[in-house]
Structure 1
Amino acid sequence: MRSNILARTLISATAVVGIAAGSLAGAATSFAASETVAKPVVSAEAVTPAAVNNLGLSAAQAKNVQRWLKTYWGYTGSIDGQLGTNSWKAFQRCLKANWGYTGSIDGVPGTNTIKALQRLLKHSWGYTGAIDGIAGAGTKAAFKRFANAV
């Protein structure tokens, strides 16, 4: 009987050690998995220096604007139908010279650029909205009329 109790104790102790070892192994694996360093995903937008903003123009209409900018406002980029930084810098030179743009020539069509564009569009291209710096439907429609005519 004594050997029977000793055998059960030995089996129980072995089972406890096995369970503990398995738990530690599982814990080590889970800790190892949590140590994986997540790498941030880089999007094309994060790499691109400036986005294209055609303000609703088609590529053909934007090409018309780029040709006009090349002829009159020092645009030196390609005629690709994408109003990017260089297109907007040239447009800002026009807006600064004639339409009350007071910001920097940075190629970003922000609120001040849109306000000056709205003044130009109100003068000759049928824009009837507020000079608010928001390129809404009325601004975009007038900009399309401008792009089709230049």
Structure 2
Amino acid sequence: MIARVKQHCRCNRRCEFKKNIKNITMKEVREAIEQTRKELKVETVTLTSFIMKKISMKDTRTSSIGFGIVAITMLVLVLGFLSAGDIIGLVKYFENRRKPTSVKRSVKGKKGRRLGLRKELAINRENIAETKNA
């Protein structure tokens, strides 16, 4: 396929441009487009706008610092209120784990103490039997 390329004059007069009408093929048009693209292509990594997007700048305005402090405070308060119940429950759980819940757990591994507790239990059983008989 053949394309006609016209070059226009800006002054709207009859110029030499109108005389230079060329007949070129689509292949030549594509090649010219590719060549122009290669010439105009810019590496975006080296552009200042790309670099500035990746760098965070310090903002020293008092209003931005104030908003930042307020936002951080609000986040801490909200997260603190949400987790306060869980933290209190964990503290109570670990406090109850430290306290002995039964006699066996508190005297584990101590034979002399265990024998003393057995004697106390026997005495308590005798007292209970006496109160039932009386």
| Range class of TM-score, shorter chain | under 0.3
- TM (norm. structure 1) is 0.21
- TM (norm. structure 2) is 0.23
Q: Give the greater-gyration-radius structure (CA).
A: 2
Higher relative contact order (CA 8 A, sep 6+): 1
Higher helix share: 2
